[in-house]
Amino acid sequence: MDISIIIFLLGGLFLGWSLGANDAANVFGTAVGTRMVRFKTAAIVCSIFVILGAIISGSGTTETLGKLGAINALPGAFAACVAAGLSVYLMTKAGLPVSTTQAIVGAIVGWNLYTGSDTNIRVLITILGTWVLCPVIAGVIAMGFFTITKNYLLRRKLHILRLDAYTRTALLLAGAFGAYSLGANNIANVMGVFVPISPFTDISISSFFVFSSKEQLFLLGGLAIAVGVFTYSKKVMFTVGNDLLKMSPVAAFIVVISHSIVLFLFASQGISNFLQSINLPSIPLVPVSSSQAVVGAVIGIGLLKGGKEVQWSVAGRITIGWFTLPVIAALISMILLFILSNIFNLTVSF
């Protein structure tokens, strides 16, 4: 493989690493931060299920990003990834809860604008719509789960210690599901732009099993996420667990499961097909922000408790992020594409 290909892929791997470092905290942060689950356990489960989710269910969201703009040259994909990574870094520094999802969409639109390619407006509107829907659905699901769980627990009268044991197991299972959903939904952000120009070839193992080039890319992206989980997420998990979400372990479980369901809904080809088969509107398969799903779930629970604990400023900052991050990512993407094509004489599109 050409060394340049590896360098270009590094852009995506960097994005994967940062996704693992930050978003794993949404899945296991409360469990680890409150010491309900050990970091090592969380990191192993998270890594395995992120990789499985990426390989098994990562195609749907990748296709949607491909429809938005099919980047057809490796330097172009590299620029998009670096632009997304940089913009996330800048916005995080500014204290805004942003996501790689919004950044990569902005970066792809930036590539479209720079290269004169068409942006599929319908797909763009669908994606923007899901960003708004994501925290709202997470909030509604969390409210439903919270009510059911609270009533169930009041009726079951479980001993505090028994409840603790069940909650630990539930947090681990919900975390595994969350990690799977994160891999399935967000692998498109990390490796999506490389799919049309994958440097890998399909590998056939006997006549039954074909490990496609796309799956190889997703495995690579999944591994990058896993490295992010192991190397950097511990600190973020403790921050999430101790500072941001002061809630009971049961409420933490509800947040994680609601977040996981939302990510899974927006990544599951199966559910989308099923809804279509019974003449219901299908769910668009779009990469959504796991951080915003978590915030949506927390706000949902806060509203059920009377709304006093809801931090509306955080909700406001999320809304700002919906607009500013894609714009900044698009601008950085265009600047990088200009530099790559004019200074380094690289082909950024065909």
Place of tokens 């978590």: 294
**Which three-class secondary structure state does DSSP give residue 209?**
strand
From 12-20, 30-38, 68-76, 124-132, span contacting another protein (CB under 8 A) = 30-38
Residue 146 lies near another protein (rule: CB under 8 A): yes
Residue 41 lies near another protein (rule: CB under 8 A): yes
Residue 40 lies near another protein (rule: CB under 8 A): yes
Residue 308 lies near another protein (rule: CB under 8 A): no
CA nearest neighbour of 290 among 46, 19, 17, 15: 19
Residue of 128, 158, 271, 335 that binds another protein (CB under 8 A):
158
Residue window 168-207: x/- pattern of binding to another protein, with contact defined by CB under 8 A: xx--x-----------------------------------
Residue of 45, 143, 220, 256 that binds another protein (CB under 8 A):
45
CA nearest neighbour of 64 among 330, 267, 307: 267
Residue of 149, 213, 242, 324 that binds another protein (CB under 8 A):
149
Considering beta carbons, is residue 67 or 168 the nearer one to another protein? Answer: 168
Alpha-carbon span 254 to 143, nearest angstrom: 9
- Bridge partners for 209 per DSSP: 205
Considering beta carbons, is residue 150 or 317 the nearer one to another protein? Answer: 150
Find the shortest distance in angstroms from Cβ 329 to another protein: 37
Residue 285 lies near another protein (rule: CB under 8 A): no
Considering beta carbons, is residue 3 or 160 the nearer one to another protein? Answer: 160
Alpha-carbon span 181 to 130, nearest angstrom: 16
The residue type of 141 is I
Place of tokens 């603790």: 164
Residue 150 lies near another protein (rule: CB under 8 A): yes
Residue 307 lies near another protein (rule: CB under 8 A): no
Residue of 94, 122, 162, 319 that binds another protein (CB under 8 A):
162
Take residue 337 and report the two structure tokens written for it: 């594409």
The residue type of 109 is V
In the chain, DSSP finds a helix count (H) and a strand count (E) of 12, 2
**CB of 237 within 8 A of CB of 28?**
yes
